Amino acid sequence: MSAGGIGGLGLVGTLVVLAVGWFFGIDISPLVGAMQGETQQTQVDPSQLSPEQRESGEFVSTVLASTEDVWQKVLPEQTGVQYTDPSMVLYSGQVQSACGGASAAMGPFYCPNDQKVYLDTSFFSQMQDRMGAGGDFAYAYVISHEIGHHIQNLIGVLPKVTQMRQRASEADSNALSVLTELQADCFAGIWGRQASQNLKITQEDFSEAIGAAGAVGDDRLMEGAGRVPMPDSFTHGSSADRQKWFARGFESGEIAKCNTFGEAGL
């Protein structure tokens, strides 16, 4: 990950927002605890982090602050629902969440039970090295996608989907999962549009995000693993669909345009 910052906005210049404390809004105790070989860590000392981990934390903090600025304005304006800030947990290797244990192999995820986003510090390098989807705005897309799940939780989408999936067949449950993920992509696009002025988003930045959305499509991932893509087994959506819904959110800036469920006849 470069030290330049998203959209040409240098991290050194933007991190004034962090002056009130290290990693504002981010819990790094699992990361420090893992470094020390401890299962619990009661006191966090950022000086124990590696330069790469510091940079990741600083970058994530900047993006998280941007999502909060955008959604605190957009969500009540468009839905009447007040936005409450989620928390971000950076971890290394494994972590325990209110949704159960998780490892780096799962990738980033949002847990509605504790309203926290969990991000392994190695994921950005995996995007760059294994998926060919590097770049600051590509990484920001991943964070904003997980925040999109928080939006779904606040407006009641996630609880409804959970109930529906419990009664559905495996194929129908997978289809509901895809619709949920594509809507989160669309919400990520809304963030990108709203934040574009402050973060000076360029066409190159937009292309990075579109590339990242394509790189994490189920078909692309299955092909990369030597498997034949099977749409019935998709849980996040094809590369083309993920790119389409991110672009729709970016172009429209409207939550109402992100109704993946309605377009599917639900």
Which pLDDT value is given to residue 229?
Answer: 67
Instruction: Tell me the one-letter amino acid at 76.
Output: P
Rounded distance, CA 61 to CA 69, Å? 12
Rounded distance, CA 249 to CA 266, Å? 20
Rounded distance, CA 122 to CA 126, Å? 6
Which pLDDT value is given to residue 1?
Answer: 30
Q: Which two tokens stand for residue 29?
A: 């105790």
Rounded distance, CA 230 to CA 218, Å? 9
Which pLDDT value is given to residue 74?
Answer: 97
Rg (CA), the chain: 18
Rounded distance, CA 110 to CA 102, Å? 11
Rounded distance, CA 98 to CA 1, Å? 29
Burial class of 191 by CB neighbour count within 10 A (0 to 12, 13 to 18, 19+): buried
Which pLDDT value is given to residue 127?
Answer: 58
Neighbours of 84 (CB within 10 A): 13
CB distance 186 to 260 below 8 Å = yes
CB distance 154 to 75 below 8 Å = yes
For the chain, the farthest-separated pair of C-alpha atoms sits apart, in whole angstroms, at: 52
**What's CA 63's distance to the chain center, in Å?**
10
Residues paired with residue 211 on neighbouring β-strands, in sequence order? none
Q: Which two tokens stand for residue 53?
A: 């981990």
| Angle CA 95–99–102, to nearest 5 | 30
CB distance 60 to 141 below 8 Å = no
63 three-class SS: helix
- State the pTM of this model: 0.78
| pLDDT tens track, the chain, 266 positions | 333 333 333 333 222 222 222 333 444 444 444 433 443 333 344 445 566 666 667 778 888 999 999 999 999 999 999 999 998 887 777 778 888 887 766 778 899 999 998 888 776 666 555 555 556 777 888 899 999 999 999 999 999 999 999 999 999 999 999 999 999 999 999 999 988 877 777 777 777 776 666 676 666 666 766 777 676 777 777 888 999 999 999 999 999 999 999 998 88
Which pLDDT value is given to residue 230?
Answer: 75
